[in-house]
Amino acid sequence: MVRVSGDDMNQTQRDSVQYGRKIDKIKEPTAAQKKKDQKLIDAAFKAFDKASRVEDDYVEFENKMRKKYT
């Protein structure tokens, strides 16, 4: 479960960076291009937050199991 979220996070960040680099080369990006760039940035942050929460939940579960069975 952690790995899937991590892969999702990496892909959304990759998409955001690629589009950001593309839009940086344009002298006057349109409002739609700026909006799409911001949408991709927001998606990357949300994916990072989700992956972090999933990882924290997994670590907490793992620690409970270690404590319970050792």
pLDDT digits (tens, 9 = 90+) for 7-48: 888 899 999 999 999 999 999 999 999 999 999 999 999 989
Tokens describing residue 7: 């892969």
Single-letter residue type at 9: M
Q: What is the pTM of this model?
A: 0.76
Q: Residue 55's domain spans which residues?
A: 2-69
Is residue 13 within 8 Å of residue 44, measured between CB atoms? yes
Single-letter residue type at 17: V
Is residue 51 within 8 Å of residue 16, measured between CB atoms? no
Count CB-CB contacts under 10 A for residue 53: 11
Q: Check pLDDT > 70 for residue 58.
A: yes
> Based on the structure, what is the number of domains in the chain?
1
Q: Check pLDDT > 60 for residue 70.
A: yes
Reported confidence tier of residue 3, pLDDT bands at 50, 70, 90: low
Q: Report d(CA 17, CA 70) in Å as an integer.
A: 45
